[in-house]
Amino acid sequence: MKLSHLSETLIGSEIVKLGGEIREKIRQGERIYNFTVGDFDPSIFPIPKELEDAIVDAYRKHFTNYPAAEGNLDLREAIHSFTKDTEGLDYNINEILVASGGRPLIYSLFRAICDQGDKVIYAVPSWNNNHYTHFVGGEHIVIEAKAENNFMPIAKDIREHVKKASLIALCSPQNPTGTTFKKHDLEAICDLVIEENQRREENEKKLYVMYDQMYWHLTYGDIQHYNPVSLRPAMREYTIFIDAISKVFAATGVRVGWSFGPATIISKMKAILTHLGAWAPMAEQKAVAQFLGKRDAIQKYLTHFKKEVEERLRRIYDGFMQLKSEGLAVDAIAPEAAIYLTIKIDLAGKKTAEGKLLENQAEVTAYLLNEAKLAVVPFYAFGADKSSAWYRLSVGTCKKEEIGEMIGKLREALKKLKS
């Protein structure tokens, strides 16, 4: 059956494929250390009690009708206040748009800015930029981020591509790496955008930046989060932020996200979403509007939540460093942010105990799952080169007692391999 060009050319998800294999093994009774899911186990990381109570209360008060297309006024006012107080960003109510999480906002942003054939610049590994660029028929300008930069893009690699580009998609803290922009690196990218837009004619489309900061509250140690507009106020004209409660409050299924940026772009995104009906549910909007005003409760929740996530990340990182010190072919980047650890398992070219050669990274991933019972997502699932030995490890469903067991099983599996 012949269908649309878009549907015929959609790229399958490596993560979904891997998830299917994991579910089948679990169904058959195998013990799998599943670190693939960019989500939370609610029994380990529940949403804040105050938010939960407010959602239940909102449904009991029968807030079950359509919300405003741009998001309810009380929620946009709460987002305005929360963003101003926590990040020093002061956006008017008409510069804020609410939707059912970050995805429809990102989609509508791509649609609002990009025409078919427009250049879209994004780094890999990164989450879903390749798919959104495909949706709008854009030209993929792919920057291969490097380990020496903690897999974050830098201005030097972007500069040659900005001419006639319409959008740069940035994310910090980054999914899948859990790493962040250093201040000077983000400043350099901002300066590049400002310089390019000053060069363009008045009637020429500007170069915009999508800044996905979904994980920005979840930074650890001395790591600081930076954003384009605070670093360079001139970036306000060109920056559209993506944010939500999904990660910061372990509320991925509650589906309340928001975008803020230039009113003209926000209004066009609203018009697109109006036709999709991708609004956040009325009751959840009412609840989040109420909860964002409870700053003491938010701080108390974040203190505990961040401590628990960071402990898991650091314990796994320490485990990998121990394996590395034993001469095993692994590495990791020290935890910075989000719920992810960037790990390296470099086994391609080695042979199993049965003499089977692990010819490529896909076979390494399968070996880890079958022999170590370890499920992690390869960076090539996020657009990186197929030969990349780096992986995303997510702790959103991690039980602390599993960490030592997982490191032990991995050690056993690594030691079975022969050069």
pLDDT of res. 1: 73
Q: How far apart are CA 341 and CA 115, in angstroms?
A: 35
Question: pTM to 2 decimals?
Answer: 0.95
| Range(s) of the chain covered by CATH 3.40.640.10 | 49-294
Residue 118 half-sphere exposure toward CB, CA atoms < 13 A? 23
pLDDT of res. 151: 97
pLDDT of res. 167: 98
pLDDT of res. 2: 86
pLDDT of res. 10: 85
| Domain topology for 49-294 | Aspartate Aminotransferase; domain 2 (3.40.640)
Express each pLDDT in 199-227 by its tens digit. 999 999 999 999 999 999 999 999 999 99
List % helix, strand, coil for the chain (3-state, nearest 5).
45, 15, 40
| Structure tokens, 82 | 């929360």
| Structure tokens, 344 | 């390296």
Burial group, residue 262, by CB count within 10 angstroms (0-12, 13-18, 19+): middle
Q: What parts of the chain have a pLDDT lower than 50?
A: none
Q: What is the dihedral of CA 371, 373, 377, 378, to 10 degrees?
A: -10
Does residue 18 come out as left (phi exceeding 0), alpha (psi in the -120 to 50 range) or beta?
Answer: alpha
pLDDT of res. 264: 98
Element (H, E) at 196: helix 183-199
pLDDT of res. 37: 87
| Range(s) of the chain covered by CATH 3.90.1150.10 | 5-45+299-414
Q: Is 104 helix (H, G, I), strand (E, B) or coil?
A: helix
pLDDT of res. 323: 98
When the candidates are 2.102.10.10, 3.90.700.10, 3.40.630.30, 3.90.1150.10, the CATH number that belongs to 5-45+299-414 is 3.90.1150.10
